C-alpha cells in the first residue's frame, strides 16, 4: 500500500513538473497603444487555411489572460463577437486586410454593433501548434502478478503564432507580434508512466498575452 501511494505521489509530482519550453516574442510596432477607459479589444483566430486551424482554446487562453478590466483591458470573447456580427467574421467572409474593414463599416447595423461594443482594437491571431517529431516506445502489460508499463517516449512540439493588431477607429495596422515556442516532452515509464509535459501552446499564449498588454495600453499605464 505504501509502495502504491509513493508511486502515486511520484506520478503526481511528475505531472506537476513540466518539460522545458523556450518562447521567443518579436514585436513590430507602428503606433503607441491608445486603449482608454470603456474601450474593448476582440481577439479572433484566423481559420481560412485548409491545412491547419488556429486553435479556439489558444484564442480563449490569450483573451482570458489579457482580460483585466482593473488595468483597463476589456476583452470580448471570440464566440460572442462572431455570433453578434454573423456572418461578417466567418472564415469565408472575415476581412483579410484593414481596407476591407472600412467596406464592412458601410453596413449601418454592423457599424452600430461595433460601436456598441466599444471596439478599439481587433487582434487577429494566425498559426498553430504541432508535434514536429517523436521517438521511443512504451509497453504495458497485465498479468496475475499485477500490471505495469516500461519504456521511454519523447516528442517535440512547436508553436508558431502571429498576431496582427488593427486599430478599428483609426482604420490602420498598429503592429504585429509573433510568438515562437518550442518544447520537448518526456514520458519515462517504470511501472507507472511519468509524464513530463512541455506546455508549449500555453507558454506561447502567456508570452503573447503579456506582450499584447504592453502593446495595447498607453505607455504610462502599461507598467501598472
Partner 1 sequence: MIRLLKGLFSIKQGAIRAAALVVLACLLTACAHTVSVDGRFPAPVGNQHPLTVGIFLSEDFRQFTYSENRDDRDEWNINTGRAQKNLFETVLGSMFKETVNLSQYPSNLPQGVDLVIVPEVRELQFTMPRETRVNIFEVWIKYDMRAYNQQGDAVAEWVITAYGKTPTAFLKSQEAALAQAINVALRDAGATLYTGFERVPELQAFLASKQRALSMKQTEADNN
What does the binding site for partner 1 look like in residue numbers (CB under 8 A)?
Answer: 50-53, 55-56, 83-88, 90-93, 107-110, 113, 130
Strand partners, 134: 155
Closest approach of partner 1 to the CB of residue 103, in Å: 12
Q: How far is the CB of 107 from partner 1 (least distance, A)?
A: 5
Distance, CA of 62 to CA of 28 (rounded, Å): 19
What's the distance, CA 189 to chain centroid? 30
Nearer to partner 1, 89 or 124 (CB): 89
As measured in angstroms, the least distance from the Cβ of 52 to partner 1 is 8
Taking residue 85's Cβ as centre, other Cβ atoms within 10 Å add up to 20
**Closest separation in Å from C-beta 53 to partner 1:** 5
Instruction: Take residue 20 and report the three cell numbers written for it.
Output: 522545458
**Cβ distance to partner 1 smaller for residue 71 or 93:** 93
Nearer to partner 1, 50 or 220 (CB): 50
Q: Are strands 75-76 and 146-167 parallel, antiparallel or unpaired?
A: unpaired
Cβ nearer to partner 1, comparing 55 with 162: 55
User: 71: which DSSP letter?
Assistant: G
How many C-beta atoms surround the C-beta of residue 95 within 10 A? 16
Amino acid at each position: 500500500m505504501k509502495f502504491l501511494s509513493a508511486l502515486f505521489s511520484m506520478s503526481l509530482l511528475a505531472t506537476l513538473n513540466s518539460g522545458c519550453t523556450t518562447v521567443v516574442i518579436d514585436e513590430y510596432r507602428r503606433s503607441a497603444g491608445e486603449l482608454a477607459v470603456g474601450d474593448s479589444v476582440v481577439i479572433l483566430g484566423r481559420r481560412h487555411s485548409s491545412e491547419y486551424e488556429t486553435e479556439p482554446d489558444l484564442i480563449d487562453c490569450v483573451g482570458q489572460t489579457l482580460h483585466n478590466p482593473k488595468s483597463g483591458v476589456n476583452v470580448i470573447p471570440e464566440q460572442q463577437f462572431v455570433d453578434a456580427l454573423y456572418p461578417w467574421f466567418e472564415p469565408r467572409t472575415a476581412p483579410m486586410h484593414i481596407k476591407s474593414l472600412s467596406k464592412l463599416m458601410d453596413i449601418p447595423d454592423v457599424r452600430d454593433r461595433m460601436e456598441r461594443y466599444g471596439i478599439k482594437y481587433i487582434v487577429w491571431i494566425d498559426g498553430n501548434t504541432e508535434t514536429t517529431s517523436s521517438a521511443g516506445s512504451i509497453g504495458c502489460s497485465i498479468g496475475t502478478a499485477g500490471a505495469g508499463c516500461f519504456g521511454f517516449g519523447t516528442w517535440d512540439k512547436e508553436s508558431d503564432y502571429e498576431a496582427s493588431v488593427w486599430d478599428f477607429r483609426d482604420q490602420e495596422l498598429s503592429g504585429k507580434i509573433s510568438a515562437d515556442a518550442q518544447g520537448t516532452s518526456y514520458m519515462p515509464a517504470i511501472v507507472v508512466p511519468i509524464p513530463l509535459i512541455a506546455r508549449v501552446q500555453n507558454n506561447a499564449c502567456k508570452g503573447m498575452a503579456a506582450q499584447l498588454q504592453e502593446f495595447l495600453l498607453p505607455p504610462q499605464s502599461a507598467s501598472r
